[in-house]
Amino acid sequence: MTQTVDTDTAHDGAHYKLTHLKALEAEAIHIMREVAAQFERPALMFSGGKDSIVMVHLAMKAFRPAKFPFPLLHIDTGHNFPEALDFRDRLVERIGERLIVHKVQDLIDKGIASEDPGPYPSRNRAQIPTLLDAIETYRFDALFGGARRDEEKARAKERIFSFRDDFGQWDPKNQRPELWNLYNGRHQMGENIRVFPISNWTEMDVWQYIMLEKIEIPELYFSHTRDVVTRMGQYVPVGDEPFGPREGEEVTSRTVRFRTVGDMSCTAATDSPASTLEDIVAEVAAARASERGARMDDKTNEAAMEDRKKEGYF
Amino acid sequence: MTSNTTESDLSTSAGANQGMEFSTDAYLDMDLLRFLTCGSVDDGKSTLIGRLLYDSKSIFEDQLEAAESASLSRGDQRMDLALLTDGLRAEREQGITIDVAYRYFATPKRKFIIADCPGHVQYTRNMVTGASTANLALILIDARHGVIEQTRRHSFITSLLRIPHLVVCVNKMDLVDWSQETYEKIRSDFEEFAARFEINDITFVPMSALTGDNVVNRSTNMEWYQGPSLLHHLENVHIAGDRDMIDPRFPVQWVVRPQGDEHHDYRGYGGQVASGVFQIGDEVVALPSGLESTIKSIDIGGVEQQYATPPQSVSIQLEDDIDLSRGDMLCRPNNQATSGQNIDAMVVWMAEQPMVVGKKYTIRHTSNEVRCVIKDLRYRMDIETLHRVEDASDLKLNEIGRVSLRTTRPLFFDPYRQCRATGSFIIVDEQTNNTVGAAMIVGETS
């Protein structure tokens, strides 16, 4: 055993400089291990989007060479991009972890969830009962989510350990104080928490980390040619029904990419020639619109996110 | 990167975005500064944060537009900057900040996390929460009013939570004709009372958040001020020395133990380095067992490295198979944490239901959870006057006191002044499961 570090320099902080990405990584690993230790039945919410892919990567840092002490959980809206589902399945196979898929359609068929009325039905709302059903079915007491505080104003005030009642509801006025790196996960039967290990990351941090760690992400994030229609001033991808063009909409082929990957029915594409991670990082640095600006589900009203969170949305 | 063209009252800071170009290499070499802003609506705190976010291009057009349209629909004359930062509907409707909000921005030199805290006395617990992870505190003083009771309270909390760096922003200098005399008076008033506190690094910046003077760019209205702008100081303040690299403390959080044949012999002790440096080959001692071993390997997710420093989360393997589990701690044989059950601590109470002497609570300290009983409330600190109230019988919401308690099992701790990670704990109510107190260890009770 040899010592490779000169102990005379051990007091010099600069010698052991820790970049902000490594500091954020360390925080996320700590949070994941804390949940593993404090809860009986956690699960990691996995959507196939970049944030949840980063979460899986962080879980590998926290628990390898052992398996994750929890499964991955995908709330499948049935409105996914086919590319995202392919990616999900390949990733799960490569890392050899357990994936649970809970389908919104099954809950709609049972009459527990329902489609939104209106001309552009989104399945955002239908995700809520589906998620709660998964929690009940598998008796999950903690769910990891990839939400970040920079995404939206209501999130900026949410704790890393976010408590929910039996109905999955968030009470913003009654949050536990969260100090230092001490997380209080004590809960009653039936209560569960949402845990956000990358709360303190920004969109830029996520992209930089993906680049630094060479993390594979779906092709949807890179520039490609795609058929879109212009709807509410945004480029909406078209595909097989129910994602076809509506009356009066003209399909055009554009060079686009997605900054965020949600449902096909509510994720807009942006014009972009960015075909590498370096291009994307440069684009994010110059961007003048927020990431959630491409999510039509947040545009309904000013407090849209806060309302949905109170109802049990992530 | 384009120059800003957004029409808002923030765009008066011409050229602020110059020099904000990011290069990939620089970004990967940035460090992280967490800072706290404390103040009330009237101090111009929201304006200051809005300007920092805006001038570093951290506010997007759609977020600005949303705030502008919300201001218009409320009938405001111009965009209310607080709308950019006040997140919850109740806060927006009442125009107050009731909780800690975290905000993010970066310059080519550093990434910043702002814990944006409300300033009033009824939100002391929120400020303490924000302060617990901060390297630096920004205290705003309205130049027209000078040092007031709130300034003293915020400085006391900064000192109590041992935030290493303090910046006193003497704001609204435009309203006192950029007067050097006014600034110097405030500065000497502050220094006079701050001498009672243990704050090592205090910097003063005269500024106007509204006009942007000395926030990002040096002011041309205050030629008499020779110091840096606020942002320049935030970018350059030396924080590498804030980490304790001397006293090795590693609370074991999670045992990484693969079940398959492939890694049959692997047994990693996962945790976040609380302080000090751990290297391969180091002799370590495990608390509470007192058993000694040597570090065989250090890895993150199976990728090996030679050493680990705070606040890295790593897995450590030892040469010997000793009994070690969550809640235990690795130290060096010649530099160990105190092991004890009688704790003397400063406690900030955070719940409506007061702290009661004689009551049992659960505490969380590092990766440990133990029960305790409150033995004594030695005094309560009056945070308005900073006097000790010796005959206090309980601690109410937002009150701070010196408390003696006894734990059911030993804790492995250091004084908070030496190590924030091993010197802090939270108090949990066993009926409600709520976090009801935050504590900073002074030492063992004598």
Q: Which chain B residue shows the shortest CA-CA distance from A24?
A: B32
With an 8 Å Cβ cutoff, are A200 and B106 in contact?
no
- How far apart CA B150 and CA B148 sit, in angstroms, is 5
With an 8 Å Cβ cutoff, are B311 and A181 in contact?
yes
- How far apart CA A248 and CA A238 sit, in angstroms, is 14
With an 8 Å Cβ cutoff, are A293 and B272 in contact?
no
Radius of gyration of chain B (CA): 24
Select the more confidently predicted residue: A12 or A171. A171
A229-264, pLDDT tens digit by residue?
888 778 888 877 777 788 888 888 889 998 888 777
Res. A186 pLDDT band, cuts 50 70 90:
very high
Q: Which residues of A touch B280 (CB under 8 A)?
A: 1-4
* B418 pLDDT above the threshold of 80: yes
Superfamily of domain B250-331: Translation factors (2.40.30.10)
Average pLDDT of span B31-58:
81
* A293 pLDDT above the threshold of 60: no
Task: Give the lowest-confidence range in A1-5, A120-124, A131-135.
Answer: A1-5
What average pLDDT does chain A have? 83
SS (H, E, C) chain A: CCCCCCHHHCCCHHHHCCCHHHHHHHHHHHHHHHHHHHCCCEEEECCCCHHHHHHHHHHHHHHCCCCCCCCEEEEECCCCCHHHHHHHHHHHHHHCCCEEEEEHHHHHHCCCCCCCCCCCCCCHHHHHHHHHHHHHHHCCCEEECCCCHHHCCCHHHCCCEEEECCCCCCCCCCCCCCECCECCCCCCCCCEEEECCCCCCCHHHHHHHHHHHCCCCCHHHCCEEEEEEEECCEEEECCCCCCCCCCCCCCEEEEEECCCCCCCCCECEEECCCCCHHHHHHHHHHCCCCHHHHEHHHCCCCCHHHHHHHCCCC
Q: Which regions of chain B carry the CATH code 2.40.30.10?
A: 250-331, 338-444
Distance (Å) of CA A134 to CA A14, A36, A107, B110, B251: 47, 19, 10, 41, 34
B229-258, pLDDT tens digit by residue?
999 999 999 988 888 889 999 999 999 999
**DSSP run (H or E) holding B127:** helix B124-131
Task: Give the lowest-confidence range in A65-69, A141-145, B190-194.
Answer: B190-194
- How far apart CA B311 and CA A180 sit, in angstroms, is 12
Q: Which regions of chain B carry the CATH code 3.40.50.300?
A: 9-242
- How far apart CA A162 and CA A175 sit, in angstroms, is 7
Task: Give the lowest-confidence range in A86-100, A295-309, B73-87, B405-419.
Answer: A295-309
A217-233, pLDDT tens digit by residue?
999 999 989 888 888 77
Nearest CB neighbour to A177, from listed B125, B309, B365: B125
Q: Give the pLDDT of residue B63.
A: 67
Orientation angle between helical segments A50-63 and A20-38, nearest 10 degrees = 70
Q: How close B30 comes to chain A (CA, Å)?
A: 5
- How far apart CA B397 and CA B123 sit, in angstroms, is 9
Q: What sign does the dihedral B187-B189-B195-B198 (CA atoms) show?
A: negative
Average pLDDT of span B275-282:
96
* B305 pLDDT above the threshold of 90: yes
What does CATH list as the number for B338-444?
2.40.30.10
- How far apart CA B275 and CA B340 sit, in angstroms, is 19
The fold of the B9-242 domain, in CATH, is Rossmann fold (3.40.50)
Two structure tokens written together for B217: 């760019």
Q: Which residues of B touch A24 (CB under 8 A)?
A: 32
Two structure tokens written together for B244: 């304790």
Q: Tokens 């990351």 belong to which residue?
A: A201
Q: Which residues of B touch A5 (CB under 8 A)?
A: 277, 279, 306-307
Check if the beta carbon of residue B68 is closer than 8 Å to that of residue B8. yes
Instruction: Specify the pTM.
Output: 0.89
**DSSP run (H or E) holding B50:** helix B45-55
DSSP B78-98: S--THHHH--SHHHHHHT---
Domains observed in chain A: 18-204+304-310 (3.40.50.620), 215-298 (no CATH)
Q: Which residues of B touch A20 (CB under 8 A)?
A: 30-32, 110-111
B340-382, pLDDT tens digit by residue?
999 999 999 999 999 999 999 999 999 999 999 999 999 999 9
- How far apart CA A169 and CA A163 sit, in angstroms, is 8
Taking chain A, what is the end-to-end CA distance rounded to the nearest angstrom?
48
Q: Which residues of B touch A9 (CB under 8 A)?
A: none
* B435 pLDDT above the threshold of 90: yes
* Bridge partner residues of B141 (DSSP): B170
